[in-house]
Amino acid sequence: MNVLTPGHKYGLANFEDPNTTQEIQFIEKVPESEGSTTLRTVNDGTTNEEVLVVLIDRLNSLQAKFPCRENAIVITKLEECAMWLEKRTKDRKSRGVEGKQIK
């Protein structure tokens, strides 16, 4: 893995040819203006939640072909990660701070 833009853009090495990469871009937001808590998108991209859904789907596919305890545990942990991120988003929405730079 190569960090292209910290926290937002990464180069992921291919398995067969690690000298070639695929980029993954996460959504990147910045304050709308100086001192603003409202954020605007400067680079559209995916989310942590979406990547977790992909990983869960991939591991479920592998588990169907080559079942093992370790895959089952990883799937459970990834589902737990997704649940916590969903909870965080629901909490932020209920407090009216989703999409804003406010804790």
Helix (H, G, I), strand (E, B) or coil at 31: strand
- Arithmetic mean of pLDDT, 34-49: 94
pTM of the model: 0.88
What pLDDT is recorded for position 103? 73
6-17 tens-digit pLDDT: 999 999 999 999
Q: Residue 100 class from Cβ within 10 Å (0-12 exposed, 13-18 middle, 19+ buried)?
A: middle
pLDDT of residue 102: 82
Q: 35, 15 in Cβ contact below 8 A?
A: no
